[in-house]
Each structure stands twice: as C-alpha cells, then as structure tokens.
C-alpha cells in the first residue's frame, strides 16, 4: 500500500495551521457575536462547532490512514 506524498504534506501543514484558524475564527466570532440577532448567533456557533469537529476528525483519520500508512 502506497501513501500519497501531496496528501501527507497537506495533512502535515493543515495540522499546524488548524489551531491558528480556530483561534482567528473564535476571535472574530466573539467580536461580532453581540451585534447579531439571536438566530444568527445560534447558526454561527453551530456552524463553528460542526466545522471544527469535522476538521478534527478529518485530520485524525488522515493521520491514521495516510501518515501512518494503515
């Protein structure tokens, strides 16, 4: 079984850039949160959590599948 070098590089860099994205997105959410109506607040927080959890699971599965060549 061969692993993909471009996918390995993408996963490697994405693991390091994801915390910066998460922090920047969290700060922007906090800054504009009080200016939005309640339904947009709910949608933004829900989307942020879903995207963060999906990205964490994608990086974990990519690490297990491609970087460890399993």
Cα radius of gyration rounded to whole Å, the chain: 16
Whether pLDDT at 52 is above 90: yes
Whether pLDDT at 55 is above 80: yes
C-beta of residue 6 within 8 angstroms of C-beta of residue 64: no
Classify the C-alpha dihedral 61-67-68-70 as positive or negative: positive
The more confident residue out of 69 and 8 is: 8
- Domain chopping of the chain, boundaries: 5-68
How far, in Å, CA of 25 to CA of 8, rounded? 25
How far, in Å, CA of 44 to CA of 42, rounded? 6
Q: What is the pTM of this model?
A: 0.77
């Amino acid at each position: 079984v061969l692993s993909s070098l471009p996918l390995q590089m993408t996963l490697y860099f994405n693991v390091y850039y994801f915390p910066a994205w998460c922090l920047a997105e969290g700060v922007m959410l906090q800054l504009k949160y009080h200016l939005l109506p309640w339904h947009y607040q709910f949608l933004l927080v829900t989307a942020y959590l879903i995207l963060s959890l999906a990205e964490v699971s994608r990086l974990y599965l990519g690490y297990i599948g491609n970087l460890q060549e399993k």
